[in-house]
Every structure is written in structure tokens, then in C-alpha cells.
Chains A and B, each alone.
Chain A
């Protein structure tokens, strides 16, 4: 592992993103617009907005990071730059941590914009602290990023990578406990829900919504989210092969 190479990779990824202002705008503006739309939709149902605002705030960055990173890493594979890097003295984790740093920085800005908008102009009321909403949101975005990095290994084209979004993300959205409480799910579905990482990401947001302060339940949720993200990165490193057929 080399800190210099990790940082150089992060800088390179951010430079590439800088050349693509439309993607930056989409990453920053779309979640904010969707949150505003939700607030408008629930104009006469303030309690509902307060109830689902924080979990929804976590979902947008999660999904956006998943798609952007899976396409970015797939592009690295298909353009041959990945093969070139793997012939160089670069540890695979240098590359993945570099990506994580760069997209983590994007997630910080993205979640920051969303949280400021939700808690400010949109008037979202939560029992927990605003900073906790922000931290959980960023960690959830990093989870989406790590899953995207890992799963891009199984896509051969950008079409396939984009289709992983409905295939991987939608089931987690349905089963995470946002549409229907987990307690009222069929036992089998609940068991599936128990092993899906987004469940814990959303649970953390629901706890921030309901309870003030940091409790150990949120701690466990965030531990699961972080552990899954790290595991996905390590599995992602294993899928990068220096020698291919």
C-alpha cells in the first residue's frame, strides 16, 4: 500500500469528474430536486415527510454512487487503463481506496447539500442531531460506492452495469423497511431483509429520525454498513486480476 499512489488516484478520479460538469450537476442537483419534490408532494402531510425524509435522503446518494462508481470502474476495465495499471507497481487496494476517497469527497458534498436543504428550507424535523444525519448519509453513500465498485466486475458493458441498479438496488429498497415496516414482513422476506446491507443503512436513518442522540443501535447499524463497504472493497480487489486468459 502506498499513500502517495492512493492520493494520486483520488486526484486523478476527481480530475476526470471535473471534466464532466454535467455529471457533477446531476450528482448534486438531482437528489436536492427529488427531496424538494417529496416535500411538495407531502405538503399537507408534514408528519409523513418527517417520517421518511431522512431515509429517503440516504437512498439518493446510495443509488447515485452505486451507478457512478460501477460505470467509472467498468470504463477503467474496458479502456485498458486497468490492465496497464496492473502491470505497474500499484497495489490493488491503492486503486480502490483512491476511488473511495474521490467518491467519498463527492458524497460529502452531495449529502451535505441534501442535509442542509432538508433541515433548512424544507423544514425536516428529526429527533436526532443534524450532524448524525449527515454522517449516516455519507456512510450510506460510501456503501453504495463500494457495492458499485465490486459489482462492476461482473458487468462486461456499460448497459449491463446500469442494469445492476434495478437488479441489486431495487430489491434492497423494497425490503429495507421503508415501504412496509420490517416487523410486518413475512418471516422469509424478513430473513432476506436481515442480510441486505441497505436495511441497516435505512434503519440507522429511521433511528436518527426517532431518537435523539447516538445510541448503540445506530452504532451497530453503522458498523454493519462500514463492514459491508470494506468487505465489498476487498472482494473488489480480488476481482482485479493481473493475469488473464
Chain B
């Protein structure tokens, strides 16, 4: 690894339809950590993640990912991205989806069974995706992002609508990935998930409200529960 900061945003501004969505955002993310991007719906979480994977037109500022400007062709194999809505082929089976994306990523064929097992879809590998539940479809989309051992995973609300057992299993998987050196940036509007992250970025109305470890934020606000931390931070501004 040639970088210590997996992500480095400086003065990032995004304007869409004449409205500024992100106002001069600065964020740094250490390699091999899990960062939670928390904030209410409409706070700009998805836009920020889109900047990281280089699909968002930005108004100004710099976005560096794995030591390279975001959107650089060399990053296309090193960054895995999961959108909020499952972006997989609904009319293909789980395995057919992964076979196709593995071919595009030039990932080894052995990855396919590994990622199916990692997201717990083994028994459904031959099922056509549109017959699966919403949570299962989301996991197919997640499995796709795991192909080819990416160094950075950008996950937009990956645990929405999953039952508690599955949520726990996925957070265990995310922890294992981080331990093996993968950097994860995970957005969520469920504040309790903050406990799984080493760093939290709290976003509100397109601006960073706070960026620190969960413990530091709890100490700073004197609140225990993340919802309460968020409220106190808003009141303090």
C-alpha cells in the first residue's frame, strides 16, 4: 500500500440543478478502517459516496481515493461500490450475475463462490434475482462489489431492511475485511450501526457536523446513544 489515507476530500463542493448539495466538505479516512457516514435522508450521503467512486460531477475541490484522483481508470478494479437500490440483473440468477461482473472485473472464477458464501446466499445461488426478497437482492449487489478483492468498499446503506441476525453477520464480515486491510465507507441513517465503526462522519444538509471516533463523539457530547449525540451536535451549532 502506497497510501495511508484511503480517502482524502478537500473543499469538495457539488452543485446540482443550481442547488449546492455539498458545501466544502473535508474528510480523511485511514486505510484499513470502517468509516460510518451517518446522516438523515437528504443530507448528501449518496452524493458524497458518488464522488468517491468518480461518477459524480463536482463543482470544486479535490477527491483523492487510494492516493489517486477519484474516477481514474486505474481505480476501477480497486474500488467496489454498492448503490442503495440493488444494481444487478433481476432476470439473471445470482451466479449468472456474479459470473458476468467477475468477467468484467477480470476477477478469478474462484471469487464467485467465495462472495456468494460471504453474503450468505449459498442456498440461492441458482435462483433468479427477481424471485428473491429485497434484502437478498441487496446482498447480491453487495457480493458483486466484493469480487476481485477491492481495496476500498463504498457501501450505500447496505444493511437496510435486513433482519438483525443478517445485519450482525454482515458487520462481522465488514470487520473481517477491515482487519485484512480493506477500507470500508458505509452510509447509514440508522445511528445504532455507528458502534461498528472506527470513525464516524456525521453529515447534515451537505455539511460535516462532526468527524471523529464514536467514543470521542460520546465524550464530547456527554450522550450515550448516537441519536442523542447527533441531536446535541446539531443544537451546539
A interface, CB within 8 angstroms of B? 4-5, 8-9, 11-12, 15-16, 19-20, 79-81, 83-90, 242-245
Contacts and interface: CB of A to CB of B under 8 A. Distances in A.
10 contacts: A9-B104, A12-B96, A16-B89, A19-B91, A81-B89, A87-B53, A87-B54, A87-B76, A88-B76, A88-B105
B92 interface: yes
B230 interface: no
B105 A83 contact: no
A243 B81 CA distance: 14
Contact of B87 (A4, A20, A83): A83
A5 B79 CA distance: 19
Contacts of B83: 80, 83-84
Contacts of A86: 55
Interface in B74-123: 76-77, 79, 81, 83, 85-92, 96, 99-101, 103-106
A245 B106 contact: no
Interface string B52-88: 0111110000000000000101001101010101111
Q: Which 3 A-B pairs have the closest CB atoms?
A: A80-B87, A8-B103, A89-B76
B156 to A, nearest CB: 11
A8 B91 contact: no
Contacts of A83: 55, 83, 87
A243 B100 contact: no
Contacts of B54: 87, 242-243
A107 B83 CA distance: 34
Contacts of B55: 83, 86-87, 242-244
Given A4-B103, A12-B96, A245 B90 contact: no
Given A5-B103, A84-B87, A243-B71, A19 B57 contact: no
Contacts of B144: 84
B98 to A, nearest CB: 11
B128 interface: yes
Contact of A89 (B17, B88, B105, B128): B105
B87 A244 contact: no
Given A12-B96, A88-B76, A245 B89 contact: no
- Residue from A4, A87, A243, A244 with most neighbouring chain B CB atoms (10 Å): A87
A85 to B, nearest CB: 7
B102 to A, nearest CB: 9
B57 to A, nearest CB: 5
